[in-house]
A = this chain, B = another copy of it.
Amino acid sequence: MPPNDKTVAELGEFGLIDRLTAVFEANFEPEPEPESAFRLDLIVGNGDDAAAWEGPAGTTVFTCDAMVAGSHFDLSYSTPADVGWRSMVSAQSDIAAMGFRPAYSTVTLGLTGNETGSLLDEVYVGMAQACSGFGGRIVGGDVVRSATMFISVAMVGSESPVGHSSTLPMTRSGAKPGDLIAVTGPLGGSAGGLRLLMSGASPSGPAKALIDAHRRPEPSVATGVWLATNGVGCAVDISDGLAADLGRVCRASNAAAAIQLADLPVEPELKAVFPDDWPELALGGGEGYQLLFTAPAEVVEAALAMNPAITPIGEIVAGEPQVTVLDKNGSPLTTLMSGHDHFPKR
């Protein structure tokens, strides 16, 4: 190992992706364009929820997401069907965050060989349930042997419905000072549910709502399509936590965000079960797959009329990229610039 070389654990996940993207671009020499009527023009590349390109008849979006045993799921407290559901929803949510509909998926299964057929059947039942609800029929896949079980889903999303074939994908870089920030539903429930599952809590009483939020999160496909076709240009799905994903919007848009802790929508069950920790769960908990979007006040108002679960939580302001959480008096409680990192820097 050269003296200045760092391991992935030292580099951190986000630094790594930026670095590898730069390495690719530096070493990539596109082939001469074939004489083609079917030019595909890349309009969103690396670094957003999904990539997007324009063909002659509309825009296509493309994403991938992986879940690894031990890191993203644990069959000792998740059912195989829940794991299948969540692996599909995670990709569907990326497509929804662009304002598109899930269309087709491929699934790569990395298997140790010791999984039973019925366990994998259940994984696929969960996937089929998620596809039935939100789109993304499985059309192909690959099964490979791996010492660690993993599920990798790649998904293509199609254009929004008729009359909107020129819809632009919503990106992370479209936030403008003065925009309101809104989310499509309650935060922190999935993370609270995961914490309960890991502690062995029984799914009854208020715990049940949280555990269900973790087991069966839903991607906001219909809302995402509505937003993109009604003038919203900036959205992200909350997969790694509000603070982390809003932080990405700030960095990509070169702006700051101020959010009101008291305005964060949370389930009453979250406050009941975690009276002290609910703000941490609402700000930092991921895998709930709500969308976050920014737009002028009148657009947010129209969105709210369409989906009453939508909740404004703050505002985009000019300044260095950062997320500030304010108390009821408008005083900063905390300033956040980190997020969930699979390889947090040491």
Whether the pair A145, B71 counts as a contact (CB closer than 8 A) is yes
Q: Note all chain B residues with C-beta closer than 8 A to A109.
A: 20
Whether the pair A117, B5 counts as a contact (CB closer than 8 A) is yes
Closest to A49 in B: B140
Residues of A97-123 whose CB lies within 8 A of B: 101, 103-104, 106-118, 120-121
Closest to A90 in B: B142
Chain B nearest CB from A135 CB (Å) reads 6
Whether the pair A6, B144 counts as a contact (CB closer than 8 A) is no
Closest to A102 in B: B31
Which one of A151-159, A174-182, A260-268, A306-314 is at the B interface?
Answer: A151-159
Distance, CA A25 to CA B126, complexed state (A): 12
Instruction: Pick from B27, B51, B163: contact of A132, CB below 8 A.
Output: B27
Query: Does A170 count as interface, using CB distance less than 8 angstroms?
Result: no
Whether the pair A117, B7 counts as a contact (CB closer than 8 A) is yes
Instruction: Pick from B37, B53, B124: contact of A20, CB below 8 A.
Output: B124
- Copies of this chain present: 2
Which one of A57-65, A205-213, A249-257 is at the B interface?
Answer: A57-65
Query: Does A46 count as interface, using CB distance less than 8 angstroms?
Result: yes
Instruction: Pick from B57, B66, B114: contact of A8, CB below 8 A.
Output: B114
Whether the pair A70, B147 counts as a contact (CB closer than 8 A) is yes
Interface size class of A (residues with CB under 8 A): 35 or more
Contact with B along A326-339 (1 / 0, CB 8 A): 00000000000000
Chain B nearest CB from A236 CB (Å) reads 14
Closest to A6 in B: B117
Whether the pair B145, A115 counts as a contact (CB closer than 8 A) is no
Query: Does A231 count as interface, using CB distance less than 8 angstroms?
Result: no
Instruction: Pick from B30, B50, B64, B140: contact of A63, CB below 8 A.
Output: B140
Query: Does A13 count as interface, using CB distance less than 8 angstroms?
Result: yes
Query: Does A305 count as interface, using CB distance less than 8 angstroms?
Result: no
Query: Does A298 count as interface, using CB distance less than 8 angstroms?
Result: no
Q: Note all chain B residues with C-beta closer than 8 A to A133.
A: 31
Q: Note all chain B residues with C-beta closer than 8 A to A9.
A: 113-114
Distance, CA A31 to CA B222, complexed state (A): 12
Q: Note all chain B residues with C-beta closer than 8 A to A13.
A: 143
Contact with B along A1-25 (1 / 0, CB 8 A): 1100111110101001101110111
Whether the pair A65, B116 counts as a contact (CB closer than 8 A) is no
Whether the pair A29, B68 counts as a contact (CB closer than 8 A) is no
Whether the pair A29, B132 counts as a contact (CB closer than 8 A) is yes
Q: Note all chain B residues with C-beta closer than 8 A to A101.
A: 34
Query: Does A77 count as interface, using CB distance less than 8 angstroms?
Result: no
Whether the pair B156, A62 counts as a contact (CB closer than 8 A) is yes
Distance, CA A26 to CA B219, complexed state (A): 23
Distance, CA A187 to CA B120, complexed state (A): 35
| Known contacts A57-B56, A121-B20: A165-B38 contact under CB 8 Å | yes
Distance, CA A123 to CA B31, complexed state (A): 20
Whether the pair B7, A51 counts as a contact (CB closer than 8 A) is no
Chain B nearest CB from A79 CB (Å) reads 15
